Amino acid sequence: MRKELKHALVAAVALSLQGVVHAGSRPDAWITMKAKTALYLAKDVTGTAINVDTINGHVTLHGTMRDAEEKARAVEVVNAIEGVSDVRDLMRVASRTQTATMMKRSDDLVRSDVQKRLKAARSLDDSNIVVKSVDEGVVLLTGRAASFDDNQRALYYTAGQPGVVRVASEIDVPDTLPDEDFRADEETLPAAGKRDLGGVTSDLWITSATKMKLAADSRTPATEINVDCHDGAVTLFGMVSSQDSKSAAAKIARGVSGVKRVENRLVVVVPANHSSVQARDEEIQQGVEESLNDRGEQENADIDVEVKNGVVRLTGTVSTWQDNLSAVFVARSVTGVRSVRSELKVETRNAARS
């Protein structure tokens, strides 16, 4: 009986990893940032109306679109991003009464408003992003962004201004993410280490910190809860099996440093079949170890796995804080895991800060 159970669990783990392995070449946060940028810049897509999150290469889109064609276009745009395994579409189509009417404004007024908005954003102080041109409401931005996060904010601020039909970009953006934005030891990290500019904490840091806390809590199915953040406002979306899980996720998110408010869009879907196979700790440990190897998480790392009552404890060393977050979610995805506690140490010259 135990042998049959073990085979069933290994098969379940293998199925859960299909479509994930090839996505390991790109971090989830990188995929999310690229997807957001592509949606902001896409023609005929209202990128600011879409929440985006990636878990183990699987992208989830959430929001309200004008019509089915816009929904399909958004999915098409994201599917083209490198590293995307698949796209889960949780977007809905607005009713006619909900569809907003575009405000017509002169290009000069649009240029002035966008320039004022970008200049007023203290979080963009270390970037140099300006309006190059405005043509029939299409705003072209140029300059240099100090980070992905700054680029996202600039595009988001611009797209939200009255009269802006679409945003185009010639902004020079780094193709890497600052590893400090994934740093997990919140209690010892000074505010400056989280890119706290003008009183605004990095959205990427908030997202990562929220995910780590969700993964560590047995009440919340972290791999089913998507997290998006704009200017410190967190949106939770996805599907959970109980109201308790939904409430717990919101409470966890509110407790993260830098969060201004939480919009809880999680949908409670009670499973039709409540029966489940209880995995033994030894089988869970094997599943986690195999998953870490299959995803390449052990490359340049030394991760030890311990399991007690379904709670996974990760110890050892990794090269970056991004690797820390990735290892946690690979482990959390394994069948039978209730929560994941990361005690991994980051041993890299860039991450070693006191």
pLDDT value of residue 199: 52
Domain ranges for the chain: 28-98, 107-172, 181-346
- pLDDT, the chain, mean: 86
Distance, in Å, from the CA atom of 69 to the CA atom of 74, rounded to the nearest integer, reads 9
Q: Is 187 helix (H, G, I), strand (E, B) or coil?
A: helix
Where does residue 249 rank: exposed (0-12), middle (13-18), buried (19+ CB within 10 A)?
A: buried
- Asked whether residue 195 carries a pLDDT value surpassing 80, the answer given is no
36 DSSP 8-state letter? H
- Rounded to whole angstroms, the Cα distance separating 173 from 157 reads 17
Q: What's the pLDDT score for residue 350?
A: 45
Instruction: Please state the rounded mean pLDDT for residues 339-348.
Output: 90
pLDDT tens-digit map of 230-267: 989 999 999 999 999 999 999 999 999 999 999 999 99
Q: Domain 107-172 - what CATH class?
A: alpha beta
Segment 167-171 shows an average pLDDT of 97
* Residue among 207, 183, 184, 180 at smallest CA distance from 55: 207
pLDDT at residue 22 in the model = 39
Query: Residue 172: is its pLDDT beyond 60?
Result: yes
Among candidates 145, 150, 139, which has minimal Cα distance to 197? 150
What average pLDDT does range 196-212 have in this prediction? Answer: 80
The answer to which of 23-32, 33-42, 64-73, 157-166 has the lowest mean pLDDT is 23-32
Instruction: Give the pLDDT band of residue 177 (cuts 50, 70, 90).
Output: confident
Q: What are phi and psi of 290, to 5 degrees?
A: -65, -40
- State yes or no: pLDDT of 306 exceeds 60: yes
Overall CATH class of domain 28-98:
alpha beta
Q: Do domains 107-172 and 181-346 have the same CATH topology?
A: no
Can you tell me whether residue 11 is helix, strand or coil?
A: helix
Residue 272 has pLDDT above 80, yes or no: no
pLDDT given at position 277: 57
Task: Using pLDDT thresholds of 50, 70 and 90, give the confidence band for residue 113.
Answer: very high
pLDDT band with cut points at 50, 70 and 90 for residue 185: low
Whole-angstrom distance, CA of residue 14 vs CA of residue 8 = 10
Is residue 303 a contact partner of residue 318, using CB atoms and an 8 Å limit? yes
- Sorted by sequence, the CB contacts under 8 Å of residue 56 that are 6+ apart come out as 20, 23, 28, 85, 223, 295, 329, 330, 333
Q: Which of 124, 121, 114 is nearest to 160 (CA)?
A: 114
By three-state DSSP, how is residue 149 classified? helix
Q: Say which residue, 288 or 26, is predicted with more confidence.
A: 288
Per-residue pLDDT at 354: 34
Domain 181-346 class, CATH top level: alpha beta
Tokens of 342: 């990361």
Q: Kindly report, residue by residue over 94-108, the tens digit of the pLDDT.
A: 875 555 556 688 999
The per-residue pLDDT for range 15-63, each reduced to its tens digit, is 333 333 334 478 899 999 999 999 999 999 999 999 999 999 999 999 9
Number of Cβ within a 10 Å radius of residue 353: 12
